Amino acid sequence: MMGLLLWKEPREGRRERAVTISDRAVLRMRFTCGEVLRGPKTPEPLVRRRVRRAAKQLRKLGVTQAVLPEPFPYLEELAKLGIRPVSTLPLRRALAADWARAVLTSRGLSPGSARVAVAGEQLTGELVRTVTELALGCRYVLLDLPYGGEELCRQLRREYGVSLLMGPSRDQLEGADVLVLFAPREDLKRERGVTLTLYEGGEEALPPLLLPPALEEQLPAGCHRGQLLAVLREAGAIRASQITVAAEKAGL
């Protein structure tokens, strides 16, 4: 069962339970929801104890991962009980091409002149999809792979008439306007451009993500947006095509 943890504002003049557990549906997806009472004057140690209590109850109900509030400074309390935050990695990879194009837009760069580089350790379906989408919309796409890249280049040239620059130099990768990394590259020293880290342990930051208004109004407030959209997409409650990467702040 997927968990959802939310803060609950105390209401003046009313006695309320510090922790409430209930079932909750978000876009037809079921969550086991824990609401923790926390106000502006609630002492931090008390909040921590309430989070621990909520986590214990969620874990007893079979929750092992959860969408959390943002920000949430109590990750270790959940980890001790075997609950981990939802990973945004699948969502970041699904949106990689849109994200890269939004970065170019936010920086006033033209897809016809900007350089976008993609680097990885192996030719996965996610990497192929990202490279294909970028090559169809950007003139200069650089691809760095230890193997398998040549066949992808031939396929894209044959099917779409586009070409990639295979085996770019380190200087070319470091100088790309957008560098999309599917694996760590500690050898690269970036002094310009934007790097999108699409691997476990990479930067979790996401650009602003928008949904159609009819879906937007059904989302709970205060939770980690990337985690929530990642879960809803994986469950089929929303499609990646329904998520728009806003150009504003995409390149920050």
- CATH code assigned at 159: 3.40.50.720
Range of weakest confidence among 18-32, 109-123, 191-205: 191-205
Mean pLDDT of the 6-19 span = 87
Kindly state the percentage of the chain with pLDDT values over 70: 97
Residue 71 lies in a domain: yes
40-83 pLDDT, tens digit each: 999 999 999 999 999 999 999 999 999 999 989 999 999 999 99
- Based on the fold, state whether residues 58 and 12 are members of the same structural domain: yes
Same domain? 105 vs 191:
yes
- Region at 15 (left for phi over 0; alpha for psi -120 to 50; beta for the rest): beta
pTM for this predicted structure: 0.89
Q: How many CB atoms lie within 10 A of CB 186?
A: 5
Judge if 7 and 70 occupy the same domain: yes
Give yes or no: residues 31 and 57 share one domain. Answer: yes
Burial of 53 (0-12, 13-18, 19+ CB in 10 A): middle
pLDDT at residue 15, rounded to an integer: 82
Q: Is residue 221 part of a domain?
A: no
141 and 185, same domain (yes or no):
yes
Backbone angles phi, psi at 142, to 5 degrees: -105, 135
Among 52, 85, 118, which residue terminates a domain?
85
What is the three-class DSSP state of 49?
A: helix
209 within 8 A of 230, measured Cβ to Cβ: no
Name the domain count of the chain: 2
Which residues form the domain of 122?
99-197
Does residue 126 sit in the same domain as residue 159? Answer: yes
Q: Is residue 109 part of a domain?
A: yes
Q: Are residues 142 and 165 in the same domain?
A: yes
The H or E element spanning position 82 is: none
Residue 60's alpha-carbon distances to 31, 87, 96, in angstroms, are: 14, 22, 36
Helices 125-137/96-106 angle, 10° precision:
40
112/186 same-domain check = yes
Are 157 and 73 contained in the same domain? no
On the question of pLDDT at 246 being above 90, the answer is no
